[in-house]
């Protein structure tokens, strides 16, 4: 009998949660949740459920991965129905491997319930295809920080030559270094890039630019929520759309001033 469910909470909007995830939350006796899980989703747990904040977030860990694995094993051994609620999808930079390994080593059955990952939520929010036909031949999900912090050891040359869309998770702090490495690897400085904060939420903000300008734009944004970075020719429309919106907004404001 399955006692542990590794559940994807999706990008934030509760309406993007899967039906299965919602059902398991209502039936859970224990919920271990990340900081990135929206409070409205956590509130879907049954009134008798014990809620345990394990606080996993890039650069801000209130519980170590070893502690989380130990808690999962202890709660499952206690006969509890455990939901491990993770932001986005558990299998996309969600450290699911460590937790699955710990459960297997202790003979505990588990099930993974996927969630919408931030990349597809951001693409939907922007009305842009990450794999636009004739433009993006591939799609690459990258982490923005190494295992010990700092820049990850990506093959920036191969990624630049891929001709695909690059999606950088958790890359806000290392964006200047990432941009510099891509430009050094041969990426044109005017390659379209866009930063999106809090994808799918009402607090969502997006900033279009280029691989050369995005670090400065990110610094000016002073983002406090999770940030995703999209890079590639498929993002060129985002810049054009933003320019049109800016022009329309300016014209509307000028008309309002004239009318006054």
Residue 185 is inside which H or E element, if any?
Answer: none
pLDDT at 237: 74
Where residue 249 falls among pLDDT bands split at 50, 70, 90? very low
Catalytic residue among 170, 187, 191, 235: 170
Active site (annotated) includes residue 86:
no
56 is catalytic: yes
Tokens standing for residue 156: 């920036």
pLDDT at 254 over 70: no
Categorize the per-residue pLDDT at 106 as very low, low, confident or very high, splitting at 50, 70 and 90. very high
Q: d(Cα 108, Cα 65) in Å, to the nearest integer?
A: 18
pLDDT beyond 70 at 243: no
Between 74 and 60, whose confidence is greater?
A: 74
Q: Which two tokens stand for residue 112?
A: 């993974």
Whose CA is closest to 90, among 68, 63, 70, 67?
A: 68
Task: Please check the confidence at residue 155 and state whether its pLDDT lies above 50.
Answer: yes
CB 49 within 8 A of CB 75: no
At residue 260, the pLDDT reads 57
pLDDT band of 244, cuts 50, 70, 90: very low
Residue from 129, 92, 118, 97 nearest 13 by CA? 118
User: Which position among 56, 86, 235, 237 bears the catalytic label?
Assistant: 56
Strand bridging mode 139-143 / 165-169: parallel
Dump pLDDT digits (tens) for 158-205.
Answer: 999 998 999 999 999 999 999 999 999 999 999 999 999 999 999 999
Which of the residues 34, 38, 89, 237 is marked catalytic? 34
What does the pLDDT average to over 3-25?
Answer: 96
- Examine the residue annotation and report whether 170 is marked as an active-site residue of this protein: yes
pLDDT at 94 over 80: yes
Averaged pLDDT score across all residues of the chain? 89
pLDDT at 56: 62
Start-end of H helices in 146-235: 156-161, 175-184, 214-221
- What does residue 238 show for φ and ψ, rounded to 5 degrees? -60, -40
251 has a pLDDT exceeding 90: no
* Dist. CA 9–CA 186, nearest whole Å: 37
Name the least confident of 7-21, 55-69, 114-128: 55-69
* Mean pLDDT, range 61-79, rounded to an integer: 90
Confidence check: pLDDT of 152 > 60: yes
């Amino acid at each position: 009998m399955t006692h542990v469910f590794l559940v994807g909470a999706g990008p934030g909007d509760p309406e993007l949660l899967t039906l299965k995830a919602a059902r398991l939350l209502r039936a859970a006796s224990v919920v271990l949740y990340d900081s990135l899980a929206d409070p409205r989703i956590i509130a879907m747990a049954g009134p008798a459920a014990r809620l345990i904040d394990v606080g996993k977030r890039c650069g801000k860990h209130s519980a170590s991965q070893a502690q989380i694995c130990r808690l999962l094993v202890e709660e499952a051994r206690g006969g509890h129905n455990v939901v491990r609620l993770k932001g986005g999808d558990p299998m996309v930079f969600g450290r699911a491997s460590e937790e699955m390994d710990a459960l297997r080593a202790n003979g505990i059955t588990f099930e993974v319930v996927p969630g919408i990952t931030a990349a597809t939520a951001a693409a939907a929010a922007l009305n842009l295809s990450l794999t636009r036909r004739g433009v993006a031949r591939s799609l690459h999900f990258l982490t923005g920080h190494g295992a010990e912090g700092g820049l990850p050891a990506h093959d920036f040359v191969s990624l630049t030559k891929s001709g695909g869309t690059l999606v950088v998770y958790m890359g806000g702090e290392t964006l200047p270094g990432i941009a510099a490495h891509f430009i050094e690897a041969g990426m044109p400085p005017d390659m379209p890039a866009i930063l999106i904060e809090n994808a799918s939420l009402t607090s969502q903000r997006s900033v279009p630019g280029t691989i050369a300008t995005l670090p400065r734009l990110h610094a000016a944004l002073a983002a406090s929520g999770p940030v995703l970075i999209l890079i590639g020719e498929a993002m060129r429309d985002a810049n054009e759309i933003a320019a049109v919106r800016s022009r329309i907004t300016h014209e509307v404001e000028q008309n309002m001033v004239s009318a006054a």
